[in-house]
A and B are shown apart, each in its own frame.
Chain A
Amino acid sequence: MVMDPIFFYRNPASAVAEGTLQGLRVAIQPNLAVEGWPTEAGSRALLGYTAPEDATIVRRLRAHGAHLSGSTYMSELGFGLVNSRAGAALQSREADVELVLDFMGEGRLAAAGAGVYGFKPSYGLMSRYGLVGLTPSMECCGVLSADLGGIRAVLQAVAGGDGLDFSVPEEEAPDFAPQVIDPPMISVGVLAEARGGLNDGQNEAFALASAGLAEVGFAVREVSLPEWSLFEVVHRIVGSVEASSATGRYDSVRYGPRAPGAKNWNEMYLLSRGADFDTLLKSYLIQGAFFQFESCEAFQDACRLRARLVGEVQRLLSEVDFLALPTVLDGVASVAGASILLDATYTAFSSTLFANVTGQPVLYMPPGPATEMGAAAGAAGGACGLQLAGPRLSDGSLLALGEYLQSTGRGGE
């Protein structure tokens, strides 16, 4: 059998439904439950697992008439981008919108790789019911498209309260109606510390992009978050502990391959889980188990630190309306089949993981024709687009900002 180059599972059915998303082709990942579809989330631990019912996101997409093209290859449980084909369905025009799990920036970096928009919604905006997750407090479904209108339509259809997931705040109904943008009334803070890891070419490109915002008329100024480097520490500790705990259920009792030769069930757990997970994820889970069982104080410190970072970002966003940050696409993150280490993974996502710690929404803008960002970054050996971040639940305004920039040629096609 020839392997499908993009889809792990291709939907054999054709589009028929009606609704606001009629005709929109949406590719998902096999971590979103679709009744009857293989839902293996890129892991051997879920080999052969078929979802018994639809995820809330899937149900809403279908109810609004979207056509699910299929589910794309993904990294193991969405951690990093190894073995992932996220973005490929958009590039090959097999889908109009892709949903890509964003745990440390995977959705945004996949968008950067494919040269499309990548939106990471606010934490709690979308139901997690039926999402085979790894880190409930950090991950969410990123929405990727070459068309911001497609992202807006999908968010409008799937966001909001869910009787099946109480973690979606019922009272905060999001507003995705188009908004008027009046640049002089809007301030954008360029986060100084986020430039720390850029090479010369990337730095230059990002400076140009920031200057572009000012040229269009936004009130642009530099802002500072001295504790920027702590985002990675907090993400590593809290993320790994949650991941270690969340993967406890993959015990090979009811699905997934059961390792032979175990003398009792404890051995069966150990052998099966040892054989199921790949090295990269396994090292992450072991790290999480260390913080949970051997160094719980460090975990508690990380939780406190997280609250402080959330507060710091809130403080910044009370001074400016939006933050602008660079996006660094380090090639190593998306190499298929590459065996990369934990440290390298975190380095690859160091420009994006802040938003998974804070839960705020971020729009990744690919370099537009009016900026020389793309060319400059290309010359320096690494694409670099712009991330625009807003306060929690400012998702609608963020999309409006992106649409405005697109209209001025400062982002996207």
Chain B
Amino acid sequence: MEFEAVVGLEIHVELNCATKLFCDCPNRPGDEPNANTCPTCLWFPGAVPRLSRQALEKAALVCLALDAELQPRSAFDQKVYYYPDQPKGYQLSQAHLPLARGGNIKITGEDGESQRLRIHHVHMEEDVAKLVHEVEGRVPISLVDFNRAGAPLVEIVTQPDFRTPYQAMEFLKALRSQVRYVGASECNMEDGTMRCDANISIRPCGTMQMNTKVEVKNMNSVRHVGDAIAYEMGRQIAAVQTGEAVVLQTRLWDPDKKATLPMRAKFEAPCIPDPSIPAIELSSEWVERMRAGLPEMPAARAERLVQQYELTREEALLLSAEPETVDYFETLVAQGVAPRMGLHWMTTQLLPAVRERQQNLVTSPVTPMRLAALLRLLADDAINAKAAREVLTTLFTSHETPEAIVQAQGFSQISDRTAFDDIIDRVIDEQISAVANYRGGQERALGFLVGQVMQASRGKANPKVVRQRLLEKLDEAR
């Protein structure tokens, strides 16, 4: 019997707000432990939660980015459980009336066809504190860092629409891209600003069965999500085939063992409405105002890149996946760089160099203005490509302008037609067999000759001019 997976995802996205969800403490979990705390997020007696306006706005942007429908009325509930990572006995979340319902993300399936994966709802919730387990002498102790307690999260709960690990991974990549576009989160699974749990069950292909599902947690990259789903599918299929029952449980992905392992079940109580936080009422005018503030989203932007700059679909999709990348590209073009040249230099030179230095396009000293200035020099034949690559390397460490670097390092290319006639004449005299090959119809031999002249000029000649002049001389000498 053939089986297929039925997978739904629950994705937590940490919003990049300035403050926490219910108080004015800085939303910087990485600071010195417990530096960012107050009576409210420590939940001292008498604390009253105050919903952050910015968190609501960023959460709403996430919903709009995913085409989810913001609800006119939503409210917070108390998810009761007793654990030292939250000091009030419950976590504030939206269980009954979520911020938004519906929504979907389009991906390109393995067959190249467009697929629409549905979202069930999007709700807000607060993050919990971080536990640090240490040993004091020989006594094990647990320390609590409240910096993360109350950090604003949205949880995106999908429909069980996923059948393959590939779909889940593409969904996460697209989700990340769309949320980053609206500037609501960095959405990094590696640093925990995006976390994903998967509910996985299997069924015979072609049936509509809903079988016992297993929740898998602890996947720290998009790759892990794919691996964990693939592993869990295999494990469940093997279990069913040997007549074992799939048990309702939560399992943790172990990236070293490349397997999911069962974890102890957590007690989950029914949620009750929180009586302290007023319900969130969103007017349609407010929703429309937020919608109007949405940037051009990745799919639309890729489409426009194809139209406007004559890029291929693949190139446009590659560029538009990250807002910083495509913003950089469009700034280059606006600065007078030809789109193809800009794309070429970004993908083959700039991005690898930035990655190698563990920077990103926003923090890199090679701003689009500086790279554009360099590429204009190249386009105007003031320098050649080899020199341009060297100047680019220098731009990472120098504050000088590309023009100044070219001057200082003597990269200026000499485009005077006859400046290198002596060298050209000598190369034609010396490279007898190459000249013969060229005359015999081997086009490639011309490239070799250009290279010889360039080398002799120590890179200062303009290869286009050299090529032109070589052709003239070879014709003259015939």
- Interface residues of chain A, those whose CB is within 8 Å of chain B, are 32-33, 39, 41, 46, 49, 51-53, 55, 127-133, 135-137, 163-167, 241-242, 245, 247-249, 251, 253-254, 265-266, 269, 292-293, 296, 299, 303
Contacts and interface: CB of A to CB of B under 8 A. Distances in A.
Contact of A245 (B43, B45, B84, B90): B90
Contact of A249 (B89, B272, B275, B278): B89
B272 A128 contact: no
Interface stretch (B46-54, B120-128, B196-204, B346-354): B46-54
A39 B46 CA distance: 10
B273 interface: yes
B183 interface: no
Closest 9 CB pairs of A and B: A248-B89, A137-B275, A136-B275, A132-B45, A249-B88, A130-B46, A296-B270, A136-B276, A165-B48
B320 interface: no
**For chain B, which range describes its interface: under 10, 10 to 19, 20 to 34, or 35 or more residues?**
20 to 34
A127 B276 CA distance: 11
Contacts of A131: 46
A129 B87 contact: no
A328 to B, nearest CB: 28
A251 to B, nearest CB: 7
Contacts, number: 83
A166 B274 CA distance: 13
A296 B43 CA distance: 25
A32 B48 CA distance: 13
B309 to A, nearest CB: 48
B3 interface: no
B89 A49 contact: no
Contacts of A241: 272
Contact of A166 (B51, B272, B275): B51
Contact of B80 (A132, A253, A266, A292): A292
A292 B274 CA distance: 13
Most B Cβ at <10 Å: residue of A52, A127, A248: A248
Given A127-B48, A251-B89, A292-B270, 18 more contacts: A46-B45, A55-B46, A132-B46, A135-B275, A164-B48, A164-B50, A166-B51, A166-B278, A245-B78, A248-B82, A248-B89, A248-B90, A249-B89, A251-B87, A253-B87, A254-B87, A269-B82, A296-B272
Most A Cβ at <10 Å: residue of B78, B88, B272: B272
B129 to A, nearest CB: 11
Nearest to A139: B275
B46 A167 contact: no
Most B Cβ at <10 Å: residue of A127, A129, A253: A129
Interface in B87-126: 87-90
B82 A245 contact: no
A254 B37 CA distance: 14
Contacts of A46: 45
B88 A167 contact: no
Interface in B381-397: none
Given A128-B276, A245-B78, A53 B89 contact: no
A240 to B, nearest CB: 11
Given A166-B50, A292-B80, A265 B45 contact: no
Nearest to A32: B46
B84 A299 contact: no
A296 B269 CA distance: 10
A129 B270 contact: no
11 contacts: A32-B46, A33-B46, A46-B45, A129-B48, A135-B275, A245-B90, A248-B82, A292-B80, A292-B270, A293-B269, A299-B272
Most A Cβ at <10 Å: residue of B45, B50, B51, B89: B45
B269 A292 contact: yes
B142 interface: yes
Contacts of A32: 46
A53 B45 CA distance: 11
Nearest to A124: B278
B234 interface: no
B277 interface: yes
B255 interface: no
B39 A39 contact: no
Given A131-B46, A165-B48, A249-B87, A266 B276 contact: no
B51 A303 contact: no
A364 B56 CA distance: 42
A1 B89 CA distance: 37
Interface in B33-85: 39, 42-46, 48, 50-51, 78, 80, 82, 84
Contact of A265 (B42, B51, B84, B270): B84
